[in-house]
Structure 1
Amino acid sequence: MTTTHQERPLAVLVGVQLPGVDDVEHAADLAELGRLVQTLGFDVIATVSQRRSALAAAAVLGEGKLKELAELTGGSGVVPSGAPERKNKARARRAAESGEDDEDGALGGDDGDDDEGDADGAGARRATIVAVDHDISPSQARNLERATGAQVLDRAGVIIEIFHRHARSREAKLEVEIARLNYVAPRLRETGGGGDRQRGGIGGKGAGESALELDRRKIRDRIAELKQELAAIQREQSTRRALRQGQRRVALVGYTNAGKSSLMRALTGSEVLVADKLFATLDTTVRALHPEVRPRILISDTVGFIKKLPHDLVASFRSTLDEALEASLLLYVADASDPTFRDQLGVTRSVLSEIGASEVPSRLLLNKVDRLSEDERDALRLEFPEATLLSAKIPADVAALRESLIAHFEASMVEAELLLPYAKQSLIGEIYENARVLSEEYGDDGGRLAVRAHPAALDRLRSLLAR
């Protein structure tokens, strides 16, 4: 009987431990890459790891490790002539002295963590994907493909492919497609017979333009079209955000798979996607806190961050970042059960700081504490006294968080009186939407409403009433 697990294609992870990266960080990076590859639909059968002072110029790994990798994929393990890595005697000598892997992949000492896993049980089935935990050049990827006979994706390529598969809204699809084309363009190569230069008519090759150049021009034109369409959608999004100006808005931000969507579902009662995989959420979702309060508190679930996120994707997902920038309160959600959550929290804060969101009031939520012992929770309370420890799966924790959010916004609300002329009775819904009406009295000139609201919301209501 064939199982679904057996039908999944196989992948091998490749990582180079560079100077300044300790064993724990290196292992965490490879583990995260493994989860990314699994999210993409592959089973990881082995990890080929090497300590080096830099990525090998030709094919990332030294010759010995390259052959070891090829044994897992069925390739030759040889980089085609014309692109060999030049030997560096000084670097080889330093490697021998420090115990670092040399250019041929030989270890100065067997520390047991150089190569994790093997191809046991793979038999006739070989890995068809090589995932490299670094950004590599197109030539390095081509050399790896020739040496291994497998498709090669670097970390950026894996993430972009996951985004491509998970995008649901038109906006997210456009953003991902732009990033994908920017990634693909420099990796195009001439096909056989494609290097000729011809003069073409309208829509064809330009004077002296090769097939490769034509393909790249088509990609540039397509990117320009996508950007125009995306700009129109983002103008609509900006209009919607402007309509929510003055409302009480909370944005959930954090590393991918920290539990933001689970928390969103628990706080709002909405059916947002919850999955134990990286980048399950790519679209910004906005829902009201449930049970509702007046005025409403809006909760936004945003795309998760990750280390070494491709710059094109950071630039593309401006709408998600803008949602965080325009929020009244940021909730930094971290998976407290993950040993690397401190580094993950640093990545989130660094990205948000780049867009100025570090100025937005924030709170730290250490999620998934149901997976920790009481001693571990006590240690976290000492280390992060300002944080809220909770589990999105425990109703009492969610209820306490809800009450604290309400109390946070109540503290900044003020009381005021609004005059609502009879000619502007259509604004009564707007007032109830953005303020809590304490009392109403009607006279000859209209209604006098005693309200309690946030100062920004009051300013907006007064502006509408004065028109």
Structure 2
Amino acid sequence: MAKTEAWHAAGERRTVETKPPVPRAILVGVQLPGVDDVAHAANIEELGRLVNTLGYEVVGTISQKRDEIDGATVLGKGRLEELAAMTGGTGVVGSMAVPRKSKARERFQDGDGKKPNARQPEPDSEVQPKPEFVIFDHEISPGQARNLERATGAQVLDRTGVIVEIFHRHAHSREAKVQVEIARLKYVSPRLREAPGSGRQQGPGSGESDLELDRRKIRDRLAELKEQLDDIQRDGDQRRSARRDQLRVALVGYTNAGKSSLMRALTGSEVLVADKLFATLDTTVRALQPEMNPRVLVSDTVGFIKKLPHDLVASFRSTLAEALEASLLLFVVDASDPAYESQLEVSRSVLREIGAETVPSRLLFNKIDRVSEADRAALHAKHADAILLSAMSPADVASLRETIIAFFEAAMVEDQLVLPYAKQGLLSDVYEHTCVLSEDYDATGRIMRVRGLPDAITRLRRTLAVP
């Protein structure tokens, strides 16, 4: 909140808190051959939700059908002039009298993720300020961004830049922060431009331009971050290795499909639940409630989205490893979203990219309470093996829990373990990884009839063996 001083009728001066202006944005999409009107509209609507998640207000949309994206300005001349009229630009590339400082440079030098200051109208003016941002539903090159900024007089972002910025703001754990900063610097580096009036450095690094110095700093920072990430991921690999014999379920799916709500319902954990894109970036692992022996662990993973930047997929390797190493994947789909089919394909595509397509899975249509009876029947007819449920329904969640338990019990076997008297300290390990059906004693130790996964029982037998 900004603070200003105002005089009141009584003559005293008071401090009044005022909200900072909300940045205003124009969305731009090019409909290429092979993309129908419904899919194109869904892409623009999703971009709008991304921009809203960033805290910006969408004040207009420009769309154009083209055979291909213009290599210099993305749009054709007429649409570019229309866009420039909305932002207060000239519509002419290279018309900017004074080149502006690279916005990528500003984001690199100001790494706190704060929104740039929006232009404000003069006090008491009724004229609405021009939009400060133009946001494209396509990946645009640094050269295209430069041309568009000159023609529109506004800051230009693409879908990738918006997603990277959202991740930057929503990362909380040390691992997520490092992963996002790596992706962010890789996005910013090629978009740095020489600021007007810059020259050669003096002293250390002399002979380098400001641009060369900034890029060298980014390379050095990336090397440092990758070392940090390797250390963090080694720790994570060790934690996952310690859980290798436990029953593990991973919730995967499109962003905002309701994974965190389902996670909370299944485990009773206080995970963040918010109706926004990418509310969850950090992997959460909790035990299925009520607990059973052996325990079932449930993981909530980062959501997927169309055109997810490749660097983010690569950076979140350890997060996605929860899906790769799970025994069961639950594909969570928002049944109320008209674009659910394409969203499901995006999720499956990302999992194929990390090699998780062979993990057993079940399809869950969440938010079914928002779907009409006719649409429910259509879903059931098209996806006969899918589970239709609402994370808000205790009965639906209880039924899903029984389905999860039944999946693991089908793979379990009964066997006998002998716990020597000298190794009674390992009793808790047996109870953690198996269900103990009966116990008896003889001269060798505790005789236990157990039920569990074959690999877990084999490992326990080796651990309990007397040399």
- TM-score bracket, normalised by the shorter chain, equals 0.7 to 0.9
- Cα pair 2:332 2:365 within 8 Å, conserved: yes
Once the two structures are superposed, what CA deviation does each residue of 1:217-270 show, in whole Å capped at 9, x if it has no partner?
A: 110110010010011010000000001011100000001111100100000000
Query: Which amino acid counterpart does residue 164 of structure 2 have in structure 1?
Result: I
Give the SS at the match of 1:420: strand
Q: Within 2, Cα distance between the matches of 1:122 and 1:39?
A: 27
Taking only the aligned residue pairs, the percentage that are identical comes to: 67
Once the two structures are superposed, what CA deviation does each residue of 1:105-154 show, in whole Å capped at 9, x if it has no partner?
A: xxxxxxxxxxxxxxxx9942221111100000001111111222211110
1:408 Cα deviation from its structure 2 partner: 1.0
Q: Does 1:458 align with 2:462?
A: no
Q: Does 1:302 align with 2:301?
A: yes
- Residue pairs, 1:288-299, within 5 angstroms: 288-299=287-298
Q: Does 1:136 align with 2:140?
A: yes
TM-score (norm 2): 0.87
Query: Which amino acid counterpart does residue 157 of structure 2 have in structure 1?
Result: L
Report what 1:15 is aligned to. Answer: 29
- Cα pair 1:195 1:212 within 8 Å, conserved: no
Give the SS at the match of 1:451: strand
Q: Which runs of 5+ in 1 are unaligned?
A: 83-120
Report what 2:371 is aligned to. Answer: 372
1:351 Cα deviation from its structure 2 partner: 1.1
Report what 1:35 is aligned to. Answer: 49
1:209 Cα deviation from its structure 2 partner: 3.1
Query: Which amino acid counterpart does residue 138 of structure 1 have in structure 2?
Result: P
Query: Which amino acid counterpart does residue 427 of structure 1 have in structure 2?
Result: L
More moved, 186-195 vs 374-383:
186-195
Report what 1:182 is aligned to. Answer: 186
Once the two structures are superposed, what CA deviation does each residue of 1:263-304 show, in whole Å capped at 9, x if it has no partner?
A: 000000001011111100001100000111111110000000
Report what 1:246 is aligned to. Answer: 245
* CA gap 1:431/1:59 in 2 versus in 1, 3 angstroms: same
- Residue pairs, 1:43-192, within 5 angstroms: 43-80=57-94, 123-192=127-196
Report what 1:381 is aligned to. Answer: 380
Give the SS at the match of 2:30: strand
Q: Within 2, Cα distance between the matches of 1:199 and 1:153?
A: 33
Once the two structures are superposed, what CA deviation does each residue of 1:136-187 show, in whole Å capped at 9, x if it has no partner?
A: 0001111111222211110100000000000010000000000000000001
Q: Within 2, Cα distance between the matches of 1:301 and 1:151?
A: 35
Report what 1:114 is aligned to. Answer: none
Once the two structures are superposed, what CA deviation does each residue of 1:335-360 show, in whole Å capped at 9, x if it has no partner?
A: 11111100110011111112221111
Q: Within 2, Cα distance between the matches of 1:292 and 1:122?
A: 61
- Cα pair 1:10 1:44 within 8 Å, conserved: yes
- Residue pairs, 1:349-360, within 5 angstroms: 349-360=348-359
Query: Which amino acid counterpart does residue 375 of structure 2 have in structure 1?
Result: E
1:199 Cα deviation from its structure 2 partner: 7.6
Query: Which amino acid counterpart does residue 76 of structure 1 have in structure 2?
Result: T
Q: Within 1, Cα distance between the matches of 2:320 and 2:191?
A: 29
Give the SS at the match of 1:307: coil
1:305 Cα deviation from its structure 2 partner: 0.5
Q: Within 2, Cα distance between the matches of 1:57 and 1:250?
A: 45
More moved, 401-410 vs 144-153:
144-153
Give the SS at the match of 1:275: coil
Once the two structures are superposed, what CA deviation does each residue of 1:345-379 show, in whole Å capped at 9, x if it has no partner?
A: 00111111122211110000011110111111111
Q: Within 2, Cα distance between the matches of 1:389 and 1:273?
A: 23
TM-score (norm 1): 0.87
Once the two structures are superposed, what CA deviation does each residue of 1:287-331 show, in whole Å capped at 9, x if it has no partner?
A: 000111111110000000011011100110001211100000000
Report what 1:437 is aligned to. Answer: 436
Q: Within 1, Cα distance between the matches of 2:435 and 2:76?
A: 68
- Residue pairs, 1:327-342, within 5 angstroms: 327-342=326-341
Give the SS at the match of 1:357: coil
1:5 Cα deviation from its structure 2 partner: 9.5
Q: Within 2, Cα distance between the matches of 1:380 and 1:241?
A: 36
1:442 Cα deviation from its structure 2 partner: 2.2
- Cα pair 1:11 1:43 within 8 Å, conserved: yes
Q: Within 2, Cα distance between the matches of 1:336 and 1:122?
A: 43
* CA gap 1:14/1:122 in 2 versus in 1, 3 angstroms: farther
* CA gap 1:409/1:5 in 2 versus in 1, 3 angstroms: farther
1:81 Cα deviation from its structure 2 partner: 6.0
Query: Which amino acid counterpart does residue 51 of structure 2 have in structure 1?
Result: V
